[in-house]
């Protein structure tokens, strides 16, 4: 779809060396300033401070995984730009995609490299319940929130009374749907529950997830050097207040001009929120071929927790339309979401398998496309090498480093001071 058309136009446009001042200003005004974050209408507690505080405590709580080995922050470590700093995460089992940052994650339209969820809250149950990640389950989560006095009080103030879970016949200690492991005792325990009890548990899962989403949407970053430069430049100062080094300033020209980066890294978030196949060489030969958006689009459409489903607080609206109108076709095979480039200098390694350790390697790839490996149906629809000179490559990297900015509220980057009461 859109991805293929853009890829075609990359190949068809001839690179330009310099932009006129008018075109430069016009293009600059499209990437800065950033608009305010829009609250997620599918999550009624998205803007609620108390929900965010509950979510913050849960984010740093290793009890979400049964052997207490993993909290969300284990892989999304604030000290490493909310990533794990590895090409592929060290989970409980093999994982085949790089851990994305959570900086500005409240602004994403689709979550995950393949966009298989469409809201921040629907995303949570994947890491929580995946046997390869935390291997938790929704029953254990509900029991934790009910037995921990701090969580229980916070939860009930937000969402009303928790269901009575004492009857272990009705509410086993551990259970979740595991369609791929039908013999697992937790799957069997889930199957044995009544539909109405399962619905009660799903509601707790969704409410907890919406609190975690409310927390994560506060991981907003402030203005970067690019934004300070743009503000001054667009106000009439050709030096842009001196906020960019000469290298980064030249890199910005390349980013908007010859490099054609804004065909995909467009708008103030420096992403089109769409999916493309760059044919980046795989990290190693052992990893399976990744269907990317092709499967992601199918999964999000049939996800009962999507923006148009019964758990959404706005099942008819813009976000619901995105998923309702979505098409999955073979052309999307291998496509990955265009990442935002804000704070990119803090979130190495890069690409969906962490194939590149440094920004220098990324830019080198765009320059030469060396080793590009195409899968699926994209043979003719690919990027062409940008053929940067060595100095241009350095300039682009300097520009990418100018996109760094701290969190607007640093207090969200640490575990809450008063942990939940039973700790």
Query: Where do contacts with ligand HEC occur on this chain (CB under 6 A)?
Result: 6-7, 10, 64, 70, 72, 74-76, 89, 91, 95, 97, 99-100, 102, 105, 108, 111-113, 120, 123-124, 127-128, 133-134, 212, 216, 255, 259-261, 263-265, 276, 278, 280, 336, 338-339, 341, 344, 347, 350-352, 359, 362-363, 366, 383, 386, 396, 400
Please say which residue, 91 or 416, places its beta carbon nearer to ligand HEC: 91
Instruction: Give the whole-angstrom CA distance, residue 111 versus residue 385.
Output: 29
Q: Quote the least distance from Cβ 169 to ligand HEC, whole Å.
A: 28
Please say which residue, 78 or 259, places its beta carbon nearer to ligand HEC: 259
Three-state DSSP state, 89: coil
Question: What is the DSSP code (8-state) at residue 77?
Answer: B
Q: Quote the least distance from Cβ 1 to ligand HEC, whole Å.
A: 13
Q: Given the structure tokens 């935002």, which residue do they identify?
A: 340
Residue 73 · residue 216 · CB < 8 Å: no
CA proximity to 57, closest of 231, 262, 212, 225: 212
Q: Quote the least distance from Cβ 159 to ligand HEC, whole Å.
A: 18
The two tokens of residue 94 are 């093999």
Q: Quote the least distance from Cβ 38 to ligand HEC, whole Å.
A: 16
Q: Quote the least distance from Cβ 61 to ligand HEC, whole Å.
A: 9
Question: What is the DSSP code (8-state) at residue 235?
Answer: T
The two tokens of residue 112 are 């995950």
Q: Given the structure tokens 């469409």, which residue do they identify?
A: 118
Calculate the dihedral angle through the C-alpha atoms of 13, 114, 393, 84, rounding to the nearest 10 degrees.
Answer: 170
Q: Quote the least distance from Cβ 152 to ligand HEC, whole Å.
A: 19
Instruction: Give the whole-angstrom CA distance, residue 147 versus residue 171.
Output: 14
Q: Quote the least distance from Cβ 234 to ligand HEC, whole Å.
A: 22
Instruction: Give the whole-angstrom CA distance, residue 223 versus residue 135.
Output: 37
Residue 214 · residue 45 · CB < 8 Å: yes
Please say which residue, 135 or 197, places its beta carbon nearer to ligand HEC: 135
The two tokens of residue 125 are 């149950």
Q: Quote the least distance from Cβ 330 to ligand HEC, whole Å.
A: 18
Q: Angle at Cα 298 formed by Cα 294 and Cα 304, nearest 5°? A: 150
CA–chain centroid gap for 297, Å, is: 15
Please say which residue, 31 or 72, places its beta carbon nearer to ligand HEC: 72
Residue 306 · residue 314 · CB < 8 Å: no
Please say which residue, 139 or 197, places its beta carbon nearer to ligand HEC: 139
Please say which residue, 21 or 94, places its beta carbon nearer to ligand HEC: 94
Three-state DSSP state, 95: coil
Instruction: Give the whole-angstrom CA distance, residue 406 versus residue 343.
Output: 8
């Amino acid at each position: 779809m859109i991805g293929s058309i853009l890829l075609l136009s990359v190949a068809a446009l001839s690179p330009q060396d310099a932009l006129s001042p008018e075109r430069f200003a016009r293009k600059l005004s499209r990437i800065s300033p950033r608009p305010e974050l829009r609250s997620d209408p599918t999550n009624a507690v998205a803007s609620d401070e108390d929900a965010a505080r509950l979510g913050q405590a849960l984010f740093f709580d290793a009890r979400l995984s049964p052997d207490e080995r993993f909290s969300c922050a284990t892989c999304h470590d604030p000290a490493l730009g909310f990533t794990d700093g590895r090409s592929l995460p060290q989970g409980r089992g093999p994982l085949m995609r790089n851990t994305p940052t959570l900086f500005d994650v409240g602004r994403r339209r689709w979550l995950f490299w393949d966009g298989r969820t469409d809201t921040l809250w629907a995303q949570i149950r994947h890491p929580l319940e995946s046997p390869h990640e935390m291997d938790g389950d929704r029953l254990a989560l509900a029991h934790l929130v009910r037995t921990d006095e701090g969580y229980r009080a916070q939860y009930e103030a937000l969402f009303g009374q928790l269901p009575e879970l004492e009857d272990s016949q009705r509410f086993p200690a551990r259970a979740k749907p595991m369609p791929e492991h039908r013999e697992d005792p937790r799957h069997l325990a889930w199957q044995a529950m009544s539909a109405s009890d399962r619905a009660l548990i799903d509601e707790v899962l969704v409410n907890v997830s919406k609190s975690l989403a409310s927390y994560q949407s506060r991981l907003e970053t402030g203005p970067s050097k690019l934004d300070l430069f743009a503000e001054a430049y667009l106000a009439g100062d050709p030096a842009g207040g001196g906020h960019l080094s000469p290298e980064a300033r030249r890199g910005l020209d390349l980013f908007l001009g010859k490099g054609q980066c804004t065909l995909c890294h467009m708008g103030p978030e420096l992403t089109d929120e769409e999916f493309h196949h760059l044919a980046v060489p795989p990290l190693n030969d052992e990893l399976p071929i990744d269907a990317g958006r092709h499967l992601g689009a199918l999964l999000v459409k049939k996800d009962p927790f999507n923006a148009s489903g019964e758990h959404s607080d706005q099942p008819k609206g813009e976000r619901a339309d995105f998923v309702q109108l979505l098409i999955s076709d073979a052309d999307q095979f291998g496509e990955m979401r265009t990442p935002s480039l804000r704070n990119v200098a803090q979130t190495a390694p890069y690409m969906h398998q962490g194939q590149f350790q440094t920004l220098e390697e990324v830019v080198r790839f765009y320059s030469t496309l060396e080793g590009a490996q195409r899968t699926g149906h994209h043979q003719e629809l690919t990027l062409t090498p940008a053929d940067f000179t060595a100095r241009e490559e350095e300039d682009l990297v300097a520009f990418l480093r100018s996109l760094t900015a701290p969190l607007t509220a640093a207090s969200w980057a640490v575990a809450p001071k008063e942990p939940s009461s039973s700790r």
